[in-house]
Amino acid sequence: MRRKMMTKKSFFIGLILWGLSQPLFAQESILKDFAEERNSSKYCLYPSTLRMLNLKNNEAYNDLATTFEKFLIYELDSVTTVERSYRKIMKSYRSEGFEEYVSVIGGGNEVLILGEEKRTNEMVGVFGQNGQIFVFYLLGNIAWQKIPTLVNTLAENDLINIFDINTNAWD
Partner 1 sequence: MKKTTTFILTFMLALGALAQGEVVSKYFDRFADNEDFVKASISAKMFSLFTELEAGSDEEKEFLKAVSKLKGMKILYGDSVANSKKLYSEGISDVKKAGFEELMTVLDAEENFHFAIKEKSGIISELILVSGGKKGFSVLSLYGEIDLKNISKIARSMQLDGLSNLEKMDEKKNDD
Judged by the rule CB under 8 A, the positions of this chain that interact with partner 1 are 99-109, 113, 115, 144-149, 152
Smallest distance, partner 1 to C-beta of residue 96, A: 15
Minimal distance in Å, beta carbon 103 to partner 1? Answer: 5
Which one, 125 or 135, has the nearer CB to partner 1? Answer: 125
Nearer to partner 1, 49 or 66 (CB): 66
- Nearest residue (CB) to partner 1, 41 versus 67: 67
Distances (CA, A) of 46 to 11, 29, 131, 137, 138: 32, 17, 27, 12, 10
Q: In the complex with partner 1, which residue's Cβ is closer, 9 or 84? A: 84
Q: How far apart are the two ends of the chain, measured CA to CA in Å?
A: 60
> What is the smallest separation between the CB atom of 148 and partner 1, expressed in angstroms?
5
To the nearest whole angstrom, how small is the minimum distance from the Cβ of residue 72 to partner 1?
21
